[in-house]
Chains A and B, each alone.
Chain A
Amino acid sequence: MENFLYTLIIPVILFFSFIFTGLSGNKFKPAVSGIICTATVFISAALSYWTAYQYFFLHGKVNGVYQIINVYKIEWLKFNETLSIDIGILLDPISVMMMVVITTVSLMVHIYSIGYMKGDSGYSRYFAFLSLFTFAMLGLVLSVNIFMTYMFWELVGISSYLLIGHYYNKPSAVSASKKAFIVTRFADLGFLIGILLLSAFAGTFDFNELTNPNGNAILQSASTTFMGLSAISWALILIFIGCAGKSAMFPLHIWLPDAMEGPTPVSALIHAATMVVAGVYLIARLFPLYVFTSPVALEVVAHVGAFTSLFAAIIACTQTDIKRVLAFSTISQIGYMMVSLGVSGYGAEEGLGYMASMFHLFTHAFFKALLFLGAGSIIHAIHTNEIYSMGNLRKYMPLTHITFLTACLAIAGIPPLSGFFSKDEMLVAVMEKNIFLFAVQYVVAGITAFYMFRLYFTVFWNKDKKYEHVPHESPNVMLITLIFLAVCSALAGLIPFSQFVSSNGVPFSTHIHMNIAIPVVGIALAGILLAYALYKKESLSPEKIKNSLGVFYRSAYRKFYIDEIYIFVTKKIIFNLISVPVAWFDRHVVDNTMNGIAYTTNFVSEKIKYMQSGQLQQYAFIMVAGMILIFLLTLYLIIV
């Protein structure tokens, strides 16, 4: 632990650059903010690499097992003697791995943005928020307890909100940012109740205690049941709802495609590589709890993941906005990771799915960030997102083309690029546990290759489209990052990942399973060939196929009307059928009742005020009448 004290600098330095740029960014030339923020991220990244080196090769292992190291742990909120919340830094294989991914992609996005955002009026604001996001994301992965995770989870959501809404003059961007925030916050409600339940039954927030296979949390928590499931299962399913919101699983995925309204580098960082995989990360973080106390919750994870991956892949085939295709592809790939986690067991070899899921998270971060940054480069050149307004761009943007192709091949799972290795491990893990899910994932692998190459051929081949001006290659500062990420996407698969990450910390070795690898590459190649035939050769007409698919195509194009359902529920039901009548009720029933009481009082006193006439005779009369009345009453009482 003493070896890692400096890790505090990694997130905190970013917070300071956020504060500094946010407060005084406007006082300098815009470029200064860009450089300051990029430099801080660079320091963070360098320190992360050093941490990774130290952790994986020098100090992380004890007796051949990777340890969970709490570098810092400071009491933050004390409730009572038994319950308190700490903040601190936790290092274990996955948090170190995530730290490397986050700082690397963030660094690339920072560098890229220097070119991409040039001339933007909110330049320093943009960089300040990027720093804030990176800080929050690092805080999330380094959390020592689930409460701290939740705090940073929300902070990440806010930075995402702020960045999606960067172009705040544009109504669509503003709506998208609000939608993203509210949908994920809705999901976080599940997360919050899950935390409350978890703390009620496990009695702790701390990850060390929660995930210790021999700890109290796991051993004791299965006792209480509610509606046929143990309380802990409910808690874990609720936490998964939070994860599903952040990671855009069906049916909470609707915010992610809209989030593409944000600047493209933001999509690359937040909505492809880092924030959206936070859900996968959190389940991995709580994995022992899932495995030992609630196989049901894991089943839910696996099936939701599988459905989402298929669902999103189908939609991706029909979209025509380059960023939306990539967004649905992201949803689909995260679904993959969820499936793999969901079928995994605990242990070294038994935990293959866990390892593969993290491995795919790792490789996906690089090639998906690359795809987005490549898309950004294209958008930067021709100022449109529509893929049918693009064509033959390989002529004008050779470097973008090559790097984009690398990423396409990587995501399609063509050896020896990174996607091949991670996908192979995932499918092996799924195959062993559940043949049905394997079949789904197998088909999705083919569709993935198809839609990626549909995109690729449409954008980079075929004839020139009418461009306003001749497209040009992007500035070097952007190209550097594309090249760097292309190298990563190509080579990341060669890392012997299982030597570093496993569900119980014990390293193990894996090999390529030819019986899976060959058919998977086969179906990927088939997908590529189909895309080639449809969109490059045009020997088959895409239009005809569209028409023959009819309703199915149209509903896929409209994203299966999920957005419409949401709008119906929120606008029609919550707004018109609940809130408006409630407002009416408040004004007319509650308020009028109270006013009615006041008016009645008023009315009565209006009527009786004539009794106070000031006429002595009247008073005397009333007095005498009263006396007689009392007399009669007394008489009556005596007689009866």
Chain B
Amino acid sequence: MNNILSILIFLPLLLSIPILFFRKESETLIKSYAFIVSLIPLSIAAYLFFAFNPANPEYQFVEKFQWISISNTFYFLGIDGISMLLILMSAFIFPLSILASWTSIKKNIKQFYFLILLLDAGLIGVFSSLDLILFYIFWEFILIPMYFMIGFWGAEDRIYASVKFFLYTMFGSLLMLIGIIWLGFQCQPLLGQFTTDLTLLTRASYALDLNIQIYLFILFTLSFLIKVPLFPFHTWLPDAHVQAPTAGSVILAAVLLKMGTYGLLRFSLPLFPSAFVELTPYIATLAVIGIVYGALLSIVQKDIKKLVAYSSVSHLGFIVLGTFALTDVALQGSIIQMINHGLSTGALFMIVGVLYERRHTKKIADFGGIMKVMPVFSVIFMIVLFSSVGLPGLNGFVGEFLILLGSFYSSNLGTNAYSIVSTTAVILAAVYLLWMFQRVMLGPIEKEENKNLPDLTKRELFSFLPIIVFIVWIGVHPNTFLSKTETSVKKIIENFNASQKNFGKGNPEFKDLTNNK
């Protein structure tokens, strides 16, 4: 199976087309079909998980064909441990979000499930592209289904939110496109040709003049940071989340935001190591501000979904901090935290969806005492909550602890102040999440409407259980996942060290880097 990644990307894409020819009335058929199709990438991704060789530091399952010869652009796919985990998580989230929208999406069902499958394919494409142009195409491709999802199936202010989402990310990605082209030209003399092949560019770009590196770094990184989103580029996120339908929020939080953090690791760091070091203090400061700021904002939110959205800003700040700490421990933490955040925040949005479907409100004040009427739901809610709080034994703790530990030692950050300030978010997370839980789930039932809410249906329960399994699994045995990324992280750091050693010594000495093969 030499083209398994292509199959992984294009199979759901192809299989999404028949949906458009289904009869509009046969809703169950459409939904079941979409669900089954979404299981295909999941099973292929699961296969990849086992077939992947964690000891091999090189990209695996590589497919490479010349695509646009004039610019030496390749159809170039391949994964390492990091992208493998993210692909697995995207493939994992989609069937669950289809289940979560089963009854909540009532209009234009055909289009909705069609778009979901498009997203599925696009995201896997993002995480497996190794050519900048190809990456850019997938990156932009994601924007469209998400835009429509928020704009068509969203809440009252959906148009404002979807346009905002679109403009923000579009702005970032255009800068990236300029960056890609400029980078190609800058590396042309060093490589002897213009190319957009990531692996080739990596061997040359580190030797670029520091100033140019910094400009290029900013062009690339800005679009990633908007996507993450890092303070102060985060304001599209609460709006998009609040307006998006449940599935939209779940996918947005679980996978789309990870495109940003993934981009930092895959592109910003290896391509521009010196600029990365140079700008670390600024971005790390923004990350720490975001961590505390997002947490403080979460405390005062009156809308559950907004609260979860702001908590995302805080959690993603951790991931960015870990990336910029640039120690193996912190990078490992960042990667596992990407997965963790996907699981717990995804689940939190599904939880909000469950409540919304029953009560058609997301205001915290409209609830209270729900635990009494929905006992099974409250157990799920509680586990997810504690995972997000970072309770040991559940997944969130592992990531947070690794990041804090790794950035505590980090020589790139230079001080452990970042790490120490970030710990405050650990306590603030407990404050806003427990307080929210108290107001929504505990206490006496005061509202008449809440007295007869039905507990989770089998379908809903089934959509939560896989997440719970992984929340516990990562918490109890993180090595299953950490071991997959260990070598990839080592390679990133080795390459970084090698590039720092060679930086400023005139023309790049290819041997040093290529020998790492």
B300 within 8 A of A: yes
B181: shortest Cβ distance to chain A, in Å? 23
A481 within 8 A of B: no
Closest partner residue, chain B, to A23 (CB atom): B379
In the complex, chain A residues 58-112 whose Cβ is within 8 Å of any chain B Cβ? 76-80, 83
- Report the number of A-B residue pairs with Cβ-Cβ less than 8 Å: 115
B441: shortest Cβ distance to chain A, in Å? 8
In the complex, chain A residues 197-217 whose Cβ is within 8 Å of any chain B Cβ? 197, 199-200
Closest partner residue, chain A, to B389 (CB atom): A185
Using Cβ atoms and an 8 Å threshold, which residues of chain B touch A78? 479, 482
B444 touches A169 (CB 8 A): yes
Known contacts A185-B430, A189-B424, A193-B423; A174/B438 CB under 8 A: yes
Using Cβ atoms and an 8 Å threshold, which residues of chain A touch B482? 77-78
In the complex, chain A residues 271-312 whose Cβ is within 8 Å of any chain B Cβ? none
A192 touches B328 (CB 8 A): no
Instruction: Name the segment of A149-157, A494-502, A613-621 touching the other chain.
Output: A149-157
Using Cβ atoms and an 8 Å threshold, which residues of chain B touch A593? 232
A88 to B140, CA, bound (A): 49
Using Cβ atoms and an 8 Å threshold, which residues of chain B touch A575? 299-300
A582 touches B444 (CB 8 A): no
A263: shortest Cβ distance to chain B, in Å? 16
Partner of A185, one of B164, B300, B404, B427: B427
In the complex, chain A residues 152-211 whose Cβ is within 8 Å of any chain B Cβ? 152, 154-155, 158, 165, 168-171, 174-175, 178, 181-182, 185-186, 188-189, 192-193, 196-197, 199-200
A199 touches B405 (CB 8 A): yes
A178 touches B393 (CB 8 A): no
B423-444 contact mask (Cβ, 8 Å, vs A): 1 or 0 = 1101100110011001001111
B105 within 8 A of A: no
Using Cβ atoms and an 8 Å threshold, which residues of chain B touch A580? 300
B293 within 8 A of A: yes
B119 within 8 A of A: no
Partner of B328, one of A80, A170, A578: A80
B408: shortest Cβ distance to chain A, in Å? 5
A518 within 8 A of B: no
The size bracket of the interface on A is 35 or more
Closest partner residue, chain A, to B379 (CB atom): A22
The size bracket of the interface on B is 35 or more
A583 within 8 A of B: yes
Using Cβ atoms and an 8 Å threshold, which residues of chain B touch A586? 235, 293, 297
A168 touches B398 (CB 8 A): no
Using Cβ atoms and an 8 Å threshold, which residues of chain B touch A197? 408
A158 touches B386 (CB 8 A): yes
B255-291 contact mask (Cβ, 8 Å, vs A): 1 or 0 = 0000000000000000000000000000000000000
A555 within 8 A of B: no
A154 to B296, CA, bound (A): 23
B144 within 8 A of A: no
B297 touches A178 (CB 8 A): no
Closest partner residue, chain B, to A125 (CB atom): B375
- Report which residue of B164, B234, B299 has the largest number of chain A beta carbons within 10 angstroms of its beta carbon: B299
B167 within 8 A of A: yes
29 A-B contacts (beta carbon < 8 Å)? A76-B479, A77-B479, A78-B482, A79-B405, A151-B397, A154-B393, A169-B443, A174-B438, A174-B443, A178-B434, A182-B431, A182-B434, A185-B426, A185-B430, A186-B427, A192-B423, A193-B420, A193-B423, A196-B419, A197-B408, A574-B299, A579-B296, A579-B297, A582-B296, A583-B301, A591-B235, A594-B168, A594-B236, A598-B164
Contact surface of B with A, Cβ cutoff 8 Å: 164, 167-168, 231-236, 293, 296-297, 299-301, 328-329, 332, 369, 371-372, 386, 391-393, 397-398, 402, 404-405, 408-409, 416, 419-420, 423-424, 426-427, 430-431, 434-435, 438, 441-444, 478-479, 482
Known: A181-B430, A199-B405, A578-B296. 14 other contacts (CB 8 A): A78-B479, A79-B332, A79-B402, A151-B392, A158-B391, A168-B372, A192-B423, A200-B408, A574-B299, A575-B300, A579-B297, A583-B300, A590-B231, A598-B167
